[in-house]
Amino acid sequence: MQRRAHERTAIWLAIELEGPDREAALAVSRDASKAGLLLLTGVPFELGAKLRVTIRLPPDGTVERTLQASVVRCEPNREDPDGLWHHRVAVQFDQPDEGLESWLEELRPPPSFR
């Protein structure tokens, strides 16, 4: 059963996370929707933490979108326990971003390739 209200796109994006009580942290996305991101990070974040999320959009990474979000899940990254990205962090945007959704729609493969 699908629990997500918004379609996710598997995509690797450069992400910067800033919270009220910590320096910026780098992350990469695993997937994205207009409502949130699943991220891989080197540092854990507390459930409910408020973050400013800056997404750098390809192809050249010069386009940025900055959104406010909350951490809804943080767990060990079992796929890379000894690598750079020790944690999987799910964030939900305070407001869904229609512009991000339009951009993601352009990147989604046709249904026959999914």
For domain 14-97, give the CATH superfamily. predicted glycosyltransferase like domains (2.40.10.220)
**How many Cβ atoms are within 10 Å of 5's Cβ, its own excluded?**
9
Question: pTM for the whole thing?
Answer: 0.84
Q: What are phi and psi of 70, to 5 degrees?
A: -125, 145
Structure tokens given for 71: 């951490």
Reply yes or no on whether the pLDDT at 14 is more than 80. yes
Q: Where are the domains positioned within the chain? A: 14-97
DSSP 2-56: ---SS--EE---EEEEEETTEEEEEEEEEEEETTEEEEEESS---TT-EEEEEEE
Q: Which residues pair with 31 in a beta bridge?
A: 10, 38
pLDDT per residue as tens digits for the range 29-72: 999 999 999 999 999 999 999 999 999 877 676 778 899 999 99
